[in-house]
Copies of this chain bind each other. A is one copy, B any other.
């Protein structure tokens, strides 16, 4: 970084390949100010943008922020928002180099993030999955969807440990970007990778489509965050639907050659996160979800995205 914000543009000298992603969050579409503190909104905006770099296996580098500020957000509110952004930037050693602040009818955060790798070959796209590869997922799923349900229907929390409830709510409000895990998986031979923003089924479908393969996921093997089954039960929702069809967990879905799986499990464990094999890549097209009773179906989310 040669020149940060304050001039017409920021100047950097990137060391090799860059991965660049843009991501916007709009009030009323992606969040409500009455349902999330401003610092959480700031955290989530940068986290979800960085999650795309995690899914490339890139090392996070720079961020640029465009803020649309409505009339009813004062300077203290903007500072709260900026604090959330700055915390996430500091956590991941990201330099916030540029910004553009304008008035807007509703709060809008548009983030551009740039990550780095020594060469393009070290970055992982969605298109390299091959038949025979193992499909795995980082961390645990369903927490964001359960947290959202808890926020909408507080009675669902009645029989749950308050700490478990708090973790589910935080999962939805303040997800984590799996940046270290993504880099570890890239070094471990990942053939394709995507972050779970649309939901496991839908995002598996994206990998399947980009790679020209079938991605088969056994729902029984999908790791669930603590309390997800309880919330699903209390809400009368199928737990696998909650974990596989709803988004925003921001875990990584990865495909790996069979012989690289042990190494990847170890490399991800070193970062403090779990990696769980949940399926396999086959010849064919699209994502297939296998229910615990052995029946197969296409993910609903993927169909919606295609239509």
Contact = CB atoms under 8 A, between A and B. Distances in A.
Interface in A99-137: 99-100, 102-106, 108, 110, 112-115, 119-120, 123, 125-127
A66 B120 contact: no
Interface in A1-54: 2-3, 6-14, 16-24, 26, 28-30, 52-53
Interface string A233-249: 00000000000000000
A59 to B, nearest CB: 12
Contacts of A6: 210
A22 B53 contact: no
A270 B120 CA distance: 38
> From DSSP, what is the main secondary structure of chain A's interface residues?
strand
Contacts of A58: 9
A264 interface: no
Interface string A164-195: 00000000000000000000000000000111
B110 A24 contact: yes
Interface residues of A, number: 59
A55 interface: yes
Nearest to A98: B22
A65 interface: yes
B56 A8 contact: yes
B17 A11 contact: yes
Contacts of A194: 8
Given A9-B19, A9-B21, A23-B100, 8 more contacts: A10-B19, A11-B18, A12-B17, A13-B119, A13-B120, A22-B66, A68-B108, A112-B112
8 cross-chain pairs, A with B, having the tightest CB-CB distances, nearest first:
A110-B110, A9-B21, A9-B19, A8-B55, A112-B112, A8-B52, A2-B120, A22-B64
